[in-house]
Amino acid sequence: MSFYELLILGIITLSIFGIALGSYPTLRMNRSTIALVGATALILIGALTIDEAYRAIDINTIILLFSMMVLNINLRLSGFFKIITSKIIAFARTPRQLLALIIFSSGLLSALFLNDTIVIMFTPLILSVVLSLKRNPIPYLVALATSANVGSVATIVGNPQNMIIGIFSKISFTEFAFKLTPIALIGLSIIWIVIVIIYKSEFRNEKLSTKIEEDYKVFRPLLIKSSIVLVIMLLAFNLGFPIALSALGGAALLLITRRIKPERVFIELDWSLLVFFSGLFIITHTLNEFFISKYFQLDQGLISGNMIFDLSIVSAVLSNLVSNVPAVLLISPALLKLNNADNLWLALAMSSTFAGNLTLLGSVANLIVAESAKRQGIKLEFIEYLKAGIPITLLTLILGIVWLSIF
């Protein structure tokens, strides 16, 4: 390996290490700035040209992510998520029912609206409910975080890594959902069982002591418009229209408005996530061109049930080392060389997502729940999370591997 290759490898390693940590000691950098600086450094030393960097960025993934953000912001402004949360939780009569409703509403909505969006909206609402009922908030917070991750595996638009896999693999929205929705639903049931067992004292067979009050405001015109656009987008996805283009069309319709100023939507967009993805695409493309494609090969003959197991374990471990999106981008080039590898792509989606439940630091959704709870004086400890995170991750991974190996 030449000095030049070592320099490239050094920049990539430092970038991925920083992304895994979330920041560098003493520097005020986050994952987005680390990815951007790393990508810029690779361009400056000539590892790739500006044109090659542009081509390395998968524009369809960026468009899909942007479009789903626009939809989610409009739904949030309309009061959609508060309506859903309040209506669902109002049905709860016992702590076990409340837990089940939180898990399944969070999981099912995460499949449609990005898991991070759901936990941002749900955490303060659920905390308000459980604290007013004088319940221990920790099991409900763990349930919210883990169910958002597990539920998001069901569709291409459930989380960022699924979006990448959907674009790269060209698996249809319907096929993706058909194969992974059963795993998600069983996985949500596993979460309920694990949490009820671990927190036995919280889930005795008793009635909730206080009636849950509904308190929300609705912007009806925007709610109707956003709901119609959502239905149109889902129909387009299921009819086989290009996912990114369908989502962009929906976002464009929502931006044609007399009521909501565009600045209000754009200021809430997570631009840093789009920057992060762009930089990460460039870094992983360079890693693949200089190293992975030269030194690692995946044989077509290895596609089997055992390969699903091996890939899932590698993906789960790598996802906990460098985070799930970088892990997917690192593994994807090898899968792109294979024919008839749909189940491997699905295994990658399943394992990289479920791996995020292992630790409190395993996914952005987990951190959002923890930080939101902290602002209200509730501390979700790393070790406390592990008590449920480890069994939930192991059981759901086993479920996913067995299911995809059989079906």
Looking at residue 281, what is its pLDDT? 95
**Could you write out the DSSP letters of every residue in 212-272?**
PPP-----HHHHHHHHHHHHHHHHHHHTT--HHHHHHHHHHHHH--SSS-HHHHHHHS-HH
Residues in the chain: 407
Higher-pLDDT residue of 187 and 321 is: 187
Once rounded to an integer, what is the mean pLDDT over residues 344-351? 98
Task: Retrieve residue 242's tokens.
Answer: 């290009």
pLDDT in tens, 168-188: 999 999 999 999 999 999 999
Confidence of residue 87 (pLDDT cuts 50, 70, 90): confident
Higher-pLDDT residue of 55 and 216 is: 55
CB 69 within 8 A of CB 255: no
Looking at residue 361, what is its pLDDT? 86
Of 1-15, 196-210, 245-259, 336-350, where does mean pLDDT reach its minimum?
196-210
CB 113 within 8 A of CB 230: no
Percent of the chain with pLDDT over 70: 95
Looking at residue 54, what is its pLDDT? 96
pLDDT in tens, 94-117: 999 999 999 999 999 999 999 999
Average per-residue pLDDT for the chain: 92
Once rounded to an integer, what is the mean pLDDT over residues 313-340? 91
Nearest to 187 by CA among 405, 399, 373: 399
> Could you give the CA distance from residue 293 to residue 7 in angstroms, rounded to a whole number?
18
Does residue 305 have a pLDDT over 60?
no
Once rounded to an integer, what is the mean pLDDT over residues 146-175? 97
Residue 51 CA: distances (Å) to CA of 43, 46, 107: 10, 12, 40
Does residue 318 have a pLDDT over 80?
yes
Task: Retrieve residue 9's tokens.
Answer: 């490898």
Looking at residue 300, what is its pLDDT? 52
> Could you give the CA distance from residue 327 to residue 315 in angstroms, rounded to a whole number?
7
pTM of the entire predicted model:
0.90
Confidence of residue 326 (pLDDT cuts 50, 70, 90): very high
Confidence of residue 21 (pLDDT cuts 50, 70, 90): confident
Confidence of residue 84 (pLDDT cuts 50, 70, 90): confident
CB 64 within 8 A of CB 247: yes
Looking at residue 129, what is its pLDDT? 87
pLDDT in tens, 188-233: 999 999 999 999 999 988 888 656 566 668 899 999 999 999 999 9
Task: Retrieve residue 324's tokens.
Answer: 């799930």
Confidence of residue 296 (pLDDT cuts 50, 70, 90): low
Once rounded to an integer, what is the mean pLDDT over residues 1-23? 92
Instruction: Provide the Cα torsion 344, 345, 349, 354; round to 10°.
Output: 0
